[in-house]
Structures are given as C-alpha cells and as structure tokens.
Amino acid sequence: MDRTNQARRQFIRNMVVGALVAGVAPVEMLHGKTTDNPLPIKPKPLAAGQTVGLIAPSSNFLENESIAFAVDILRSFGFNVKKGEYIYERYGYLAGHDEQRAKDVNAMFADPDVDAIMCMRGGYGSPRILPYLDYDVIRENPKVITGFSDVTALLNAITAKTGLITFHGPVAGQNYSDYTLAQFKEVLFEGKQAMLAQPPPFEVVEGQAERDNRITVIKDGIAKGRLLGGNLSLMVKLVDTPYEPFYDNAILFLEDVAEAPYKMDGMFTHLKLSGRLNKLAGIAFGKCTRCKDDGNTLSLEQVLFDHLQPLGIPVLRGLMIGHIKENSTIPIGALAEINTSNPGIKLLEPAVE
C-alpha cells in the first residue's frame, strides 16, 4: 500500500471515530465504507414556478385519469410538471419494466430543467430498480425527491449511496390534509428546523379523549442522530445489501400497513438478529395501519415492547408517520432529536438550503 492510500485510510478512520464519539454518524458510511464528504448533501428548497418531475418507481395507477389527478396536485403548488418518459407504462403490479422505471429516475436527476422529483405513488417494486440507478449523476445533481411506503427503499438507497437528503412524505397522487400540507411546506419550502410528526391538537371536552393518535413511551429518554427509515417491510429488504443505510447512532423511524402482529414480530426479529437495532440511538415508530390479526395473537403493543424496550434507548410509538391522512414529511439523512417528554421528531438543521 502506498503512502497516499495509507494517509487516506487513516483520515477516513479518524473521521469515522470522531463522528461516533460525537454521537452523529456520517450518512454516507455504509458497512465501514464512506465517501470523501462526511456531511449530507442538501437539495434546494421547493418554490412555486419550479419544474417538478413526476415518476412512478414502484407501481402505477390502473387508470390514466389518476395520473392526471397527480399532475393537478403538483400544479396546485404552482409547479410546472414534467412527466417521466415511462409514466404511463404498466407491467402487472409494476409501473413498467425495471430498466424503464430506473431510467425515469436517472433522467429526472440529470435534467437541468427539473428542480425536484415527486413519486406518484408507492405500491411495490422500488428495490428492483436500485442496481440500475446512476448514483454519480444523482450525487452531482442534488434535488428534492419525495415519497413513502414502497418508495422507502429508493429513498434510503439514494441517501446511503450519495449522501443526498431524501424525503419520506406525501406522494403526488393524493390530496393533502391541512396537517400534511403544513409539515410538507415547513420542511421543503421554508427549510425550518421544525417539530415533526406530533399528533394534531385534540380538543378535550367532557366525555371525550384522544383515541386515534395516542403516544406510547416504550422507553423514555432523549436521543440525537441522523434519520433513516420509513416502511418497516422495505427496511428489512435492504439489510445486508449494498443499498442499506448506516444504522450506527441513528434515529430509526418506522411505519407499516396491513401487516399482522406476527409479521411485524418477524421483521423486528430480523433487524435484531442482524444486529441493526442495537446500533441505534433511538426509535420513532409511527402508525401501523390495518395491522390486526383476528386469531390467537400478541398485540402489536406487546411486540414493540418485547423487541424495543430491552434496547435501552428512547422509543416512541404513535407519531404521525404512515399510511394515514395526516402524514408528516421526514428528511432521511438530516440530524434530529427525539425526546419522549415532548413526543415528536425535532429537526436540528434545515433539510434544504
């Protein structure tokens, strides 16, 4: 090994150690590897008048009128819309073949006239396109990219491979509630160090109490770290792949939909046995929508306590993240804090600049 390589490796080793001592890990680190830049890459904020690329990296809608609806949603923000070349493709449950969907992602990042990228919907299939993405082009052309559910794999892979902050939040093919819109604009338009995913206010009156958006403290405390996560099923799919994000000293946020407690148990077991859970600084669990089993079962609450309380790190359940009307926008790769005495995710830096 020549002296240049030795010096470079020593520099990287010192950077890693320094980051871990500080309790904040560079988002580009991946299984002991790192890029030369230890800081996240922040895209520019959204603004009316920009051109937004519309893509479908997972599934498509069954009817073209739903695509037209997604275009109208983007235009309601004052955006110009550029549709992906393959936005009308359908291949069973996929929005076209893998190479086509990946080509739309690559093309939107490469296009200098496109300011930001929004996914039309989730569904299934984003992990299939990860080997076809041009991560150098993505790194060199940082832009906002948003989505949730199956898009979790795409977002975390981009952050892991490039350092670009990506955004787990609403898709183009949906109406935005007042809550969802406010969080979306605070993070992406205004660049605020916002308090995210807190339950909306509930007016307590005689004979009524909050039922739907209750917070459970599984383990109390305060944690600081870079955010990673999204849909639990997709995070499990990324384990031990080249696209897995860096768990050390991170805050993992999670949600899921239509998964029975025993399946959630299995996914948490996999993360535990693979050593991922015991690397974390904290966990923010959102909603598991329609996650019930009518048979002989543990409750989801019991599953979460079984797996997460023994970790000894701060863990919350019930934040506004998931397949819900009031869905927060969470920047993957941004520095944040959770405090179980004030439930939510507090950004410690702007996610756009």
CA distance 34 to 273: 24
Contact 25, 246 (CB under 8 A): yes
Place of tokens 């984003």: 126
Return d(Cα 107, Cα 188) in angstroms, integer: 22
In terms of phi and psi (left: phi > 0; alpha: psi -120 to 50; beta: otherwise), the region of 331 is beta
- Residue 284 corresponds to which tokens in the numbers above? 């923010």
Contact 308, 218 (CB under 8 A): yes
- Apex 86 CA angle, 47 and 102, nearest 5: 80
Angle at 328 between CA 105 and CA 346, to 5 degrees: 110
Length of the chain: 353
- Residue 4: partners with Cβ closer than 8 Å, 6 or more residues away: none
What is the rounded CA–CA span in Å between residue 207 and residue 30?
Answer: 52
Phi first, then psi: what are they for 20, rounded to 5°? -70, -40
Using CA atoms, how far apart are residues 329 and 14, in angstroms rounded to an integer? Answer: 33
The label of the residue with tokens 């046995």 reads 273
Q: Match 């148990």 to its residue by tokens.
A: 265
The set of catalytic residues is: 149, 255, 323
